[in-house]
Amino acid sequence: MKKSIILAFVILLITLGWLASGQIGKVSAQDENIVTGIKSELASADENTNTFVKEENANIIKVETKILTAQKIDQSIVIQGQTTHNKKIDVKSQTVGNIVNINFNRGDKVNKGMPLIEISKENRIELLESAKELIKLYEIEYSSAKQLIDKGLSSKSKLGLASYNLANAKSQLKNIELDIENTNILSPFDGIVTNKNIEISDYVTPGTILLTIVNLNPIKIQGYLSEFDVNKIKLNTKALVENTNGIKKKGKITFISPSAETSTRTFEIEIEADNSDLTFKSGITTSIIIEGSELLAHKIPPSILTLQDDGTIGVKTLNDKNVVIFYPIQKVKDTIDGMWVSGLPNEVNLIISGQEYVSTGQTIELQ
């Protein structure tokens, strides 16, 4: 710009000189050459200035890219869970009487069918014998009534009454036998006694809780999956469970909730694992790794994700002609140092800086 001012000032001085000499209408060839040269130089200076401004107005945007190649990754899902018992029951009395024998202590392992508690039988044995004798009498009565009917010497009503009495006596006998059976409390399944609620000589009635038994084999592990991950699994999918002591067990998914928790929008799952050694206790925190298939994916920084006007999430890339291409992506899993995504070509030139200033289809200069 300074050069243009100087040239203009020179032209002004020459013009004033012509006016002073009175030769305005007469210009020498030498003067014409000088003026022509000055005009050319001015024109050249103006042309360079426009080019610079044009370059500024072009607003050339530079971006940074990185070539990424897809890698095979394991789609395993890692979540936290908690163990719980397989079965738990409060064993209750179904009859009345005093506790006369206890065959366990709290914490003992018990097997299915093992005698645990004996309740006094009181007069149940006498009632049993009486019921048996009564049945014999009613059987004789029924047999006699039937013979008389066959001979035409009795009515059918007497036979019906004898039949009713016999059936009623047999029903009473079954009730007495069941009541006697209920005085012997057996373990309903294999397990561990966690609570002992009675002592010798305690009087119990139907509904009294006598003890509590839990079964820990198989052990159950409860966890929750996000709505993003729940569709990646199915029943019998394998899982590896590790407790806080570093003990690991292999299991499989046996339950997937059909509806999400209202507050967390997560889905409950349940895993069963063999626990015959009882190393897993109920109520402990565990780490769950749910087996997944291998998938080709790229690891990208989450900061480069772009949201399209229609809500599609993806990334911007450059093709071999430096044209911006948008690819929608699907998140595979998150890691500490990036996000694994699918949906990109095997090898891709990914825009990792400046993507927010370029648009799809635009040709840009690489930095």
Under 8 Å CB-to-CB from 30, ≥6 apart: which residues? none
| 41 has a pLDDT exceeding 60 | no
Amino acid 289: pLDDT: 93
Give Cα separations from 265 to 24, 202, 249, 335 (angstroms): 94, 49, 28, 22
When pLDDT is cut at 50, 70 and 90, the band that residue 10 belongs to is low
| SS3 state of residue 15 | helix
**The dihedral sign for the CA sequence 295, 296, 299, 305:** negative
What's the confidence (pLDDT) of residue 278?
Answer: 92
- Helix and strand numbers, DSSP H then E, in the chain: 4, 24
In contact, 288 and 80? CB cutoff 8 Å: yes
Q: Determine the pLDDT at residue 288.
A: 95
Q: Which of 35-49, 78-92, 261-275, 327-341 has the lowest mean pLDDT?
A: 35-49
H-helix segments, the chain: 2-21, 29-58, 124-150, 156-181
pLDDT of residue 249: 95
Neighbours of 130 (CB within 10 A): 15
Q: Give the pLDDT confidence of 103-141 residue by residue, as tens digits.
A: 999 999 999 999 999 999 989 999 999 989 888 888 888
> What's the chain's length in residues?
367
Encoded tokens for 73: 């990754």
CA distance 273 to 222: 11
User: Looking at 85-89, 112-116, 330-334, 342-346, which range is the least confident one?
Assistant: 330-334
Phi-psi region of 114 (alpha: psi -120 to 50; beta: other; left: phi over 0): beta
Q: Is the pLDDT of residue 1 over 80?
A: no
Lowest mean pLDDT among 51-55, 75-79, 326-330, 335-339: 51-55
Q: How are beta strands 209-215 and 87-92 bridged, if at all? A: antiparallel
114: DSSP letter: -
Residues 130, 131, 135, 138: is their CA dihedral positive or negative? positive
Mean pLDDT of 16-33: 50
Query: Of residues 20 and 13, which shows the higher confidence score?
Result: 13
Strands 285-290 and 238-243: antiparallel
Lowest mean pLDDT among 61-65, 84-88, 134-138, 296-300: 61-65
**Banded model confidence at residue 153, pLDDT cuts 50, 70, 90:** low
Where does the pLDDT of residue 19 fall: very low under 50, low under 70, confident under 90, or very high at 90 and above? low
Q: Amino acid letter at 301?
A: P
- Judge whether 7 and 41 are in contact, CB under 8 Å: yes
Please tell me what DSSP assigns to residue 330.
Answer: E
| Rounded to 5°, angle at Cα 255 from 230 and 246 | 85
Ranking 60-74, 116-130, 169-183, 236-250 by mean pLDDT, the lowest is 60-74
| Model confidence band, residue 37 (pLDDT cutoffs 50, 70, 90) | very low
Paired tokens of 201: 């000589």
In angstroms, the CA 297 to CA 73 distance is 7
Mean pLDDT of the chain: 83
Task: Work out whether the CA dihedral 350, 354, 355, 359 comes out positive or negative.
Answer: negative
Least Cα distance to 275 among 190, 155, 151 occurs for 190
> Is 90 exceeded by the pLDDT of residue 36?
no
Q: Is the pLDDT of residue 44 over 70?
A: no
* Predicted pLDDT of residue 43: 43
- Over residues 295-310, mean pLDDT: 90
Instruction: Give the model's pLDDT for residue 147.
Output: 78
Q: What span, in angstroms and rounded, lies between the C-alpha atoms of 66 and 46?
A: 41
220 pairs with which residues across the strands?
Answer: 84, 272
Residue 65's CB: how many other CB atoms inside 10 A?
Answer: 20
Cα–Cα distance, 75 to 208 (Å, whole number): 51
Q: What residues are paired with 238 via a beta bridge?
A: 252
Confidence of residue 206 (pLDDT cuts 50, 70, 90): very high
Cβ–Cβ contacts within 10 Å for residue 145, how many? 20
| 3-state class (DSSP) for residue 230 | helix
For residue 68, name the pLDDT band (cuts at 50, 70, 90).
very high
